[in-house]
Amino acid sequence: MQASVEGIPHHVPATARTHLPTGVAGGTYRISPPLIKPSRLTSKGKGGVGKDLSDGWCLNFAVGCSHGCDFCYVDEIFKRFGRKRYGDLVLKRWGDYMLIPENLEQAIQETPWQKWKGQEVMMSSTHDPYVPVLANWTRRILESALPAGVRFCIQTRSFLATRDFDLLTEYRNQVRLQVSIATMNADFATSIERRVPPSEARLEILRRAKRAGLETGVILAPIFPPMDARPDADEDLKELIEAIARIGPDHVYGESLHPRGQNLRLVEEDLGQTVPATDGFDRRIARAFHRHLANVGMKGTWWYEH
């Protein structure tokens, strides 16, 4: 499949049409409206897996993610189920492929947004909506959905989210903005999140969102077991929690590293070390999560391995 920018309307700036990092292959596919689909990333009471990230809906509008986070759980989905639809591009290393719908503008127009009025939708669960190549599309979608009353949990690691604060604050009662942070160790973060802004930049997103009056959240994940590049998992988590405590997000979640598809192999390739067995780590670090939160007067939810 060849890289393509067909179908992106002229009102989307050229930078959004062409900006893929070096080494990331681009392509297109066709997406079926409506853009909002069912999701299990909701409470168990709503039929989900216990992650309160939506009312049972998600909005994913790309295949792949250029952040290149080794630990991501999504790659296995595309490699196992997506090759027939998306082609051999999805066989590339996670982070090195990115497909955008050639008919995305049409799908936006054909989605009956008012059908989800008052419902919280996660954007997005399989890619970051604010990687550079998608950021303008994200605004285009929000400009269509927010006036119709759709509520959003926007999940990102990208500082580009701050560009849309004018729009998000206009609809602040419909928006929850969340960031994910795995570590405060800068060298470790660079190894496991190849193209992600540093942790401090993501904390700054939260600070600005709080000042803007937005509902905010943070996912401290994935918390790695002790590794040579970051040996003290407990101390790293403590530093993370102390950093977010100075901001005061409305929601705090945590999760340890779980094996999914090829993610541990990618981590081991980049760190040059085998990920140690994590038997018992999930519950030990969960206890540390709650203890450190309590010490700063906060509460949070830990997502245990299934």
Reported as a single tens digit per residue, the pLDDT across 48-82 is: 988 999 999 999 999 999 998 888 888 888 988 88
Structure confidence at residue 263 (pLDDT): 86
Residues 97/89, Cβ–Cβ less than 8 Å: yes
Structure confidence at residue 19 (pLDDT): 76
DSSP state of 159: G
d(CA 79, CA 86): 10
Per the listing, tokens 């140690």 go with: 276
The yes-or-no verdict on residue 17 having pLDDT over 90 is no
Q: Is 3 among the domain residues?
A: no
d(CA 236, CA 226): 10
Q: Is 6 among the domain residues?
A: no
Sheet holding 175-181, edge to edge: 36-38, 57-59, 120-123, 151-156, 175-181, 215-223, 251-256, 301-302
**Of 181, 200, 151, nearest in space to 53 by CA:** 151
Structure confidence at residue 264 (pLDDT): 87
Residues 303/50, Cβ–Cβ less than 8 Å: yes
The yes-or-no verdict on residue 149 having pLDDT over 70 is yes
The yes-or-no verdict on residue 280 having pLDDT over 60 is yes
Stretch 104-119: mean pLDDT: 98
The CATH number covering residue 29 comes to: 3.20.20.70
Note the residue count of the chain.
306
Q: Is 206 among the domain residues?
A: yes
Residues 143/109, Cβ–Cβ less than 8 Å: no
Structure confidence at residue 232 (pLDDT): 96
Q: Is 216 among the domain residues?
A: yes
Assign 7 a pLDDT band (cuts: 50, 70, 90): very low
The yes-or-no verdict on residue 186 having pLDDT over 60 is yes
User: Can you state the angle between helices 233-245 and 199-211, rounded to 10 degrees?
Assistant: 20
**Of 192, 176, 195, nearest in space to 272 by CA:** 192
Q: Provide the whole-model pTM.
A: 0.90
Q: Is 34 among the domain residues?
A: yes
CA 281 to chain centre: 24
Per the listing, tokens 């090195």 go with: 96
H or E element, residue 98 = strand 97-101
Q: What is the mean pLDDT of the chain?
A: 90
Measured in Å, how far apart are the chain's first and last C-alpha atoms?
A: 36
Residues 262/187, Cβ–Cβ less than 8 Å: no
* Domain range for 138: 14-302
Structure confidence at residue 21 (pLDDT): 87
Q: Is 4 among the domain residues?
A: no
d(CA 122, CA 145): 13
**Of 138, 120, 157, 140, nearest in space to 62 by CA:** 138
The yes-or-no verdict on residue 3 having pLDDT over 80 is no
Structural domains of the chain, count: 1
The yes-or-no verdict on residue 254 having pLDDT over 50 is yes
Assign 10 a pLDDT band (cuts: 50, 70, 90): very low
**Alpha helix locations (H) across 146-274?**
165-170, 186-192, 199-211, 233-245, 263-271
Share above pLDDT 90 across residues of the chain, in percent, rounded to a whole number? 73
CA geometry: angle at 113 spanning 110 and 119, to 5°? 150
Residues 252/220, Cβ–Cβ less than 8 Å: yes
Q: Is 5 among the domain residues?
A: no
Task: Tell me which of 15 and 152 has the higher pLDDT.
Answer: 152
Assign 100 a pLDDT band (cuts: 50, 70, 90): very high
Tell me the per-residue pLDDT of 19-56, one tens digit each, with 9 for 90 and over. 788 889 999 999 999 999 999 999 889 989 889 999 99
d(CA 40, CA 30): 23
Structure confidence at residue 267 (pLDDT): 87
Q: Is 179 among the domain residues?
A: yes
